[in-house]
Structure 1
Amino acid sequence: MALLNERKILDCEKKSGGKGHVLIEPLLGEKERAGQCGLYAKVILEPGCSLGHHFHHGESETYYILAGQGTYNDNGKNIPVKAGDVTFCPDGEGHSLENTEKAGNLIFMALIIKNKN
């Protein structure tokens, strides 16, 4: 068992064309993902910030909402999300997520799984 305590938080401005900035804390490095997983991270959206609409090609992405509330855009359909909700964006489709709260962060886990070739 390896304990992976050394992690860096990435501050990404206007990620995928979104508003404000997104804080991304990758939990596994490239070595641990072993080419099977594109991303496994904790993500924080502060009030008014968003992860812009983007598409997945050759992979899928799942969000597990840990805290806060927001609006998930599933291919143009807006869906309210809150702690405990899970979203799934399959290969070839697009999504976005916005923190619509006036106070409090929207915190979620992001998991990108690559398709088998």
Structure 2
Amino acid sequence: MLRHREDMKTYLMENMRGGQGTVEVVHLLNPEEMLGKGRLFAENIVPPGASIGLHPHSGDIEAYYFLEGSGMYQNNEEFYPVKAGDLTVVDDQNQHGITNTGDIPLRFIALILYTGEGK
């Protein structure tokens, strides 16, 4: 399979998960292409000052792999600075969020995998 960027489903999410600003979400795989193992494999692009609000995960985990920019990642009550090359994972029954604290877009790959037999 080959999918060109212009053929990938792209969404502009306003105030994503209660955050600020508009986040661009580019779906690299569609949920049905994840064979029941997960529900998201996408590039997220968060403009300077924008954020994805703190939100819970139940029945799945989510990993962020940062490609460009810098930000402040929240995992439950803890805060961590992140930059290109870093990886974060929120476990099942926990919550996380991210804010772009830099002056260029914060770009990262987001992967959500189910912890059980799939959904």
The two structures share one fold, judged by TM-score above 0.5: yes
**Correspondence for 2:2:** 3
Q: Which residue type is aligned with residue 83 of structure 1?
A: A
List structure 1 runs of 4+ shifted beyond 6 angstroms.
none
Task: Please report how far the alpha carbon of residue 41 of structure 1 lies from its aligned counterpart in structure 2 after TM superposition.
Answer: 0.3
SS of the residue 2:29 aligns to: coil
Q: Alignment identity in percent?
A: 39
1:104 and 2:104 matched? yes
Task: Please report how far the alpha carbon of residue 31 of structure 1 lies from its aligned counterpart in structure 2 after TM superposition.
Answer: 2.5
Task: Please report how far the alpha carbon of residue 33 of structure 1 lies from its aligned counterpart in structure 2 after TM superposition.
Answer: 1.1
**Correspondence for 1:52:** 53
CA offsets per residue over residues 39-74 of structure 1, 9 Å max, x none?
000000000000000000000000000000000001
Task: Please report how far the alpha carbon of residue 115 of structure 1 lies from its aligned counterpart in structure 2 after TM superposition.
Answer: 1.5
Partners in 1 of 2:12 and 2:62 — Cα distance? 20
Q: Which residue type is aligned with residue 90 of structure 1?
A: D
Partners in 2 of 1:70 and 1:105 — Cα distance? 10
RMSD of Structure 2 on Structure 1 (CA): 0.9
Q: Mark the runs of 5 or more structure 1 residues left unpaired by the alignment.
A: none
TM-score (norm 1): 0.95
**Correspondence for 2:116:** 116
1:42 and 2:43 matched? yes
TM-score (norm 2): 0.93
